[in-house]
Amino acid sequence: AEKNLKLEEKITVLQQQNEELRARIEQNTVITRQLSEENANLQEYVEKEVEEKKKLSRTNEELLWKLQEGDAVSPVKLPPTSSTSFYRCSSGNSSPAKVKTLRR
């Protein structure tokens, strides 16, 4: 009878440990799902950023190429101007638009 009492106490302790472990597993499962979702969102964001960087790089290369081709074609080089110039819009709007120009 004493041995049975000790075994029942041990069973109770093991059942409590088992419940605690199940609760931890459930909590870890929830956290794992959240982290997986966050990881997927971050990967998507990184892919978009990489594509945007590639696009900007291609645009930059194209503009550099156009600039070089323009220099090769143009026999007269314009004198350096200030970093901003004022132009009038050709759409009939009489207000000047501030436009940045590249220095050569």
Q: How far is CA 69 from CA 39, 58, 62, 78, in A?
A: 44, 16, 10, 15
Q: Please, are residues 88 and 94 in contact by the beta-carbon 8 Å criterion?
A: yes
pLDDT tens digit sequence for 62-101:
999 999 988 766 655 555 655 444 444 444 444 444 444 4
Q: Which helix (H) or strand (E) element contains residue 24?
A: helix 2-73
- DSSP character at residue 91: T
Q: Which helix (H) or strand (E) element contains residue 100?
A: strand 96-100
pLDDT tens digit sequence for 4-30:
999 999 999 999 999 999 999 999 999
Instruction: Look at the block and give the residue holding tokens 């049975």.
Output: 4
